[in-house]
Amino acid sequence: MARGNTRQRIQDVALGLFAEQGYEKTSLREIAEHLDVTKAALYYHFKTKEDIIIGIFQDLTRPVDELIDWAREQPRTLEVREEILRRYQESLISAYPLFRFMQENQAAVRELSIGLTFKERMLELSGLIQEPDFTVLDRVRCVSAIFTLHAGMFFMDNVEGDSEEKREAVLEVALDLLSQAHGGPVAGA
Amino acid sequence: MARGNTRQRIQDVALGLFAEQGYEKTSLREIAEHLDVTKAALYYHFKTKEDIIIGIFQDLTRPVDELIDWAREQPRTLEVREEILRRYQESLISAYPLFRFMQENQAAVRELSIGLTFKERMLELSGLIQEPDFTVLDRVRCVSAIFTLHAGMFFMDNVEGDSEEKREAVLEVALDLLSQAHGGPVAGA
Amino acid sequence: MARGNTRQRIQDVALGLFAEQGYEKTSLREIAEHLDVTKAALYYHFKTKEDIIIGIFQDLTRPVDELIDWAREQPRTLEVREEILRRYQESLISAYPLFRFMQENQAAVRELSIGLTFKERMLELSGLIQEPDFTVLDRVRCVSAIFTLHAGMFFMDNVEGDSEEKREAVLEVALDLLSQAHGGPVAGA
Amino acid sequence: MARGNTRQRIQDVALGLFAEQGYEKTSLREIAEHLDVTKAALYYHFKTKEDIIIGIFQDLTRPVDELIDWAREQPRTLEVREEILRRYQESLISAYPLFRFMQENQAAVRELSIGLTFKERMLELSGLIQEPDFTVLDRVRCVSAIFTLHAGMFFMDNVEGDSEEKREAVLEVALDLLSQAHGGPVAGA
DNA sequence: AATGAATGAGTCTTCATTCAT
DNA sequence: GATGAATGAAGACTCATTCAT
């Protein structure tokens, strides 16, 4: 019937199921049934189960990798760092299902032949918003800023309120943490 | 040789492997091999694979559940809330492998017949440190405070520095976020 | 590019792979990849996998079948029999890859819908160089003469020395055995 | 029901089927059905399909390997070499199904992680009955002597006659070839 | 308190084959 | 003369689980 887009449909259905049930728990039989094709059809489009997920990763982590690349070439100013957080939040939101999948399946995915892991990307990003001479306290603030953006994803789903308002609030808290790390106005100052 | 403690040893080895490789990916065969017993021996101590992990959960999430119970009965003051964060951090640290496991296997564990999930406990806790009339911004700060403690776990492993110093810095940032949410001294104030 | 000869190219590649890896172990995918065409293309030229190998057989066992036919019509003299051995050796050499394939895949090929099997052809040939009244000992010599020619194939690959010289030596030993069977000069005679 | 001997029964049935149909063509399902157990039961006794056959090999090629070891330590006399042929024939006969399997599945078995292959063992043995200064002709005679013993196996099945008589005749022809190679009485001498 | 032997259901994967284009 | 897309059947293998001993 529909042709040409099967590869894409496989990835969509697969990511949905992976995110919902976990990678290991989702069988190719299940994916095939959802698509109303045979398991063998999946193998026409992807060499292995791992390949399916790697394909998804490559498509969807590109924005974050591009962000990292971009950030590496920028001057190390507060403005740039704020921009990093802004862009990171955008990436998280636009690749939400993948993000959720990565977050909730870290163990299962760790061994996959995927370039950078979730953790490694986070480390990289948190490095890019710090100065080498930061105190431990300020380093924590930077990592916390990133985790706040992640918390935002969680927040979106589980706390009531206007979506856009929540997004902005999350970003504000993250930016606050960043500026505090950068010697910004702090309590009592 | 040493007997009687086999049940405990099974749980220890199992949690180690679950945390490392994921729940689904870890087979009973593997656990048995690590313990140098047969698979059948595991069934003498636990009725199912799920039972093993449920046992671990019950042993190790008790502190957090007790914290929740305690918190529910306290007056809703800032001091109590600070104490909640402090105690939560302690729980996280003392049940580190379980925490890491829960964090990295959320998807796999979701379907298990376990009382409260990781997420639910977090929601509960974050509710306990908020006021009903909080703005979205302040709610984000509270959730962020909790995520900061989680970030701390990540921080412990992946950032250099003295362990105790890091722990304290993490707590400080979390407490900061909390007091800001509570109208504490903010930028420019 | 070059077309028209595709059928032949398929057979060549297939025989090569069959000889190297075995018939069952060689998949059509593999053959297609070696030829840089799709599997479906193979089906344009051959109806089934079995068909490919049957085609090869028919092309390459013809010489032996013709030899058998020829031999059946000759007078049953020692000279004719010597000629049979000579011609058989030639056939073996000129269809070397097929011979090797047949030799090493007897089990796999047994069930194929192929006229005479390797074994049957050998039995036939050995019958043609014996007399009905031969003693068991002389029958063994005749079968041994044929096996010696086969051994020669093995010899070619695995023992050093000039190719032509080896071929002649092999033939000489085979002829010797034949003439001994035919009451030729024997030890002490 | 019957216990303890299952491992052995698996090997017996497997070798039978492997010899009859070929290694690749014989599925574990088939083996299991013949034994009236499940496929999984096979995996309790052997780690892989390859393992089943390797087990068989090790049990059954031992005699030939021991012969090779023994031969290496003997003085290089004609008598010893005759003894080698005699013992080799015995080995072939006593491990007949395995021999037939090896002979007819060389291609399939080549890639298996088995010590020496059929071919290598033959080369080794043929080396042990030759002198370094042999002419090509004499080398051929030695290899031919070995092939004659193999031919004997074929002879046993496919030529009528008393079994013991055939065996002796085969050995006699092989010994003849050996003694001719060793400058024994030849035609016209 | 633990083992040896086995099972049933399921996994991922590969294969030969088909057919509309 | 060949491809792209797909299928049904089967393959090897693994898993959680059971039970008699």
Q: A63-83: per-residue pLDDT in tens?
A: 999 999 999 999 999 999 999
Structural contact between residues D32 and D39, judged by C-beta atoms closer than 8 angstroms? yes
Task: Provide the pLDDT for residue D185.
Answer: 59
Looking at the predicted structure, is the pLDDT value of residue B153 above 90? no
Check contact C-D (3+ Cβ pairs < 8 Å).
Answer: yes
CB contact under 8 A, A104 and B101: no
Residue C40 approaches strand F within 7 Å at CB: yes
Q: pLDDT tens across A1-31, in order?
A: 445 689 999 999 999 999 989 999 999 999 9
Nearest Cα residue in chain B from A178: B173
Neighbour count for residue B75 (Cβ, 10 Å): 6
B39 touches strand F (CB under 7 A): yes
Tell which residue, D164, C25, C161, A111, has the closest CA to residue B20: A111
- Is the model's pLDDT at C184 over the cut of 80? no
Does residue B187 register a pLDDT over 50? no
The reply to whether C40 Cβ lies less than 7 angstroms from strand E is: yes
Going by pLDDT thresholds of 50, 70 and 90, the confidence category of residue C188 is: very low
CB B170 within 8 A of CB B151: yes
Residue C102 has pLDDT above 90, yes or no: no
Residue A61 (CA) to nucleotide E4 (C1'), in angstroms, measures: 49
In the numeric block, which tokens belong to residue B144? 């962020």
A28 CB-to-strand E distance under 7 Å: yes
Residue D87 pLDDT exceeds 90: yes
Nearest DNA or RNA nucleotide to A49 (CA to C1'): E12
Mean pLDDT of A151-174: 89
Residue B2 confidence (pLDDT): 47
CB atoms within 10 A of CB A166: 19
Digit-coded pLDDT (tens) for C39-94: 999 999 999 999 999 988 888 888 999 999 999 999 999 999 999 999 999 999 98
Query: What mean pLDDT do residues D147-163 have?
Result: 87
Given a contact cutoff of 8 angstroms between Cβ atoms, the answer to whether A11 and A56 are in contact is yes
Contact D21 C111 (CB under 8 A): yes
pLDDT score for A2: 45
Q: What is d(CA C16, CA C32) in angstroms, rounded to the nearest whole number?
A: 13
| CB contact at 8 A, B146 and B174 | yes
Residue in chain B closest to A186 (alpha carbons) equals B187
- Tell me which of D158 and B150 has the higher pLDDT: B150
In Å, the largest CA–CA distance within chain C is 67
pLDDT tens per residue, range C25-54: 999 999 999 999 999 999 999 999 999 999
Q: Which residues of C touch D19 (CB under 8 A)?
A: 107
| A145 touches A179 (CB < 8 A) | no
Taking the CA of residue D18 and the C1' sugar atom of nucleotide E21, their distance in angstroms comes to: 43
Residue B161 has pLDDT above 80, yes or no: yes
- The stretch B86-101 carries a mean pLDDT of 91
Instruction: Say what the pLDDT of residue C115 is.
Output: 65
Q: How far apart are CA D174 and CA D143, in angstroms?
A: 10
Q: d(Cα B95, Cα B102) in Å, to the nearest integer?
A: 11
pLDDT of C112-124, one tens digit each? 777 677 888 888 9
Distance from CA of C73 to the nearest CA of D (A): 23
Most D CBs within 10 Å, among C23, C24, C130, to test the D interface: C24
Nucleotide nearest B3 (Cα, C1')? E1
**Considering CB atoms only, which of B18, B108, B122 is closest to A25?**
B108
In whole angstroms, give the CA distance from residue A108 to residue C127: 67
Residue nearest to nucleotide E6 (CA to C1'): D41
How sure is the predictor about C5, in pLDDT bands with cuts at 50, 70 and 90? confident
Q: Which residue's entry shows tokens 């808290």?
A: A173
The spacing between the Cα labelled CA in C27 and the C1' in F5, in angstroms, equals 19
Mean pLDDT of chain D: 89
Q: If we measure between CA atoms, which residue out of C185, C117, C122 comes closest to residue D147?
A: C122
CB contact under 8 A, B176 and A187: yes
List pLDDT tens digits, range B65-83: 999 999 999 999 999 999 9
CA of C17 to C1' of F8 (A): 27
C-alpha to C-alpha distances, B156 to A143, D30, D39, nearest whole angstrom: 12, 55, 48
Give the pLDDT confidence score for residue B31 in this predicted structure: 97
Nearest nucleotide (CA of A39 to C1'): F7
A25 Cβ contacts chain E strand, under 7 Å: no
3-state secondary structure of B74: coil
Chain C residues closer than 8 Å to D111 by CB? 21, 25
CA-to-C1' span, D46 to F13 (A): 11
Find the residue in A nearest to B119 (Cα): A154
Residue-wise pLDDT tens digits, B10-64: 999 999 999 989 999 999 999 999 999 999 999 999 999 999 999 888 888 889 9
Q: What is the 3-state secondary structure (H, E, C) of chain C?
A: CCCCCHHHHHHHHHHHHHHHHCCCCCCHHHHHHHHCCCHHHHHHHCCCHHHHHHHHHHHHHHHHHHHHHHHHHCCCCHHHHHHHHHHHHHHHHHCHHHHHHHHHCHHHHHCCCCCCCHHHHHHHHHHHCCCCCCCHHHHHHHHHHHHHHHHHHHHHHHCCCCHHHHHHHHHHHHHHHHHHHCCCCCCCC
The reported pLDDT for the residue numbered A189 is 40
- Find out whether B122 and A153 touch, Cβ atoms under 8 Å: no
- Rounded Cα distance between C69 and C86, Å, is 15
